[in-house]
Structure 1
């Protein structure tokens, strides 16, 4: 059984989840703009590195709290 973590969900077309499959972490990002993207990581640090680059502070100017919540969700996995 895989454990699934929801990082955020704005609606059924904009969400990001992480599935933990043993040591493998699968990030599924669904957006109404890009469709579904799937990223597979073999370690938690690798996933967190991707998340730091994907959710850059410069992209969240004025919305720092939203970014902090997203990053805290990743770190909780």
Structure 2
């Protein structure tokens, strides 16, 4: 059985989830603009590196608090 974590969910079209499948982490990013993107990582540091690039402060469309909550939630997995 896989463990699924919801990082954020604004509505049914804008969300980010992480599935933990043993050592593999599968990040599913669903947006109303881009559809579903799936990223597979073999380590937590690799996932955090992706997240820090994906949610860069200068490019993030939201508040600093929201960005920090997303990164904190990903780091807690």
Same fold (TM over 0.5): yes
Q: Which runs of 5 or more residues in structure 2 are unaligned?
A: none
1:23-34 mapped onto 2 (5 Å cutoff): 23-34=23-34
Q: How many residues are matched?
A: 77
Map of 1:71 onto structure 2: 71
- TM-score using structure 1 length: 0.96
Q: Which runs of 5 or more residues in structure 1 are unaligned?
A: none
Between the aligned partners of 2:60 and 2:32, the Cα distance in structure 1 is 19
Instruction: State which drifts further: 2-11 or 51-60.
Output: 51-60
Moved over 3 A (4+): none
1:59 aligns to what SS in structure 2? coil
1:28 aligns to what SS in structure 2? strand
Give yes or no for the alignment of 1:45 onto 2:23. Answer: no
Instruction: State which drifts further: 57-66 or 34-43.
Output: 57-66
The Cα of 1:61 is off from its aligned counterpart by: 7.5
Change (3 A) 1:62 1:23: closer
The Cα of 1:60 is off from its aligned counterpart by: 3.6
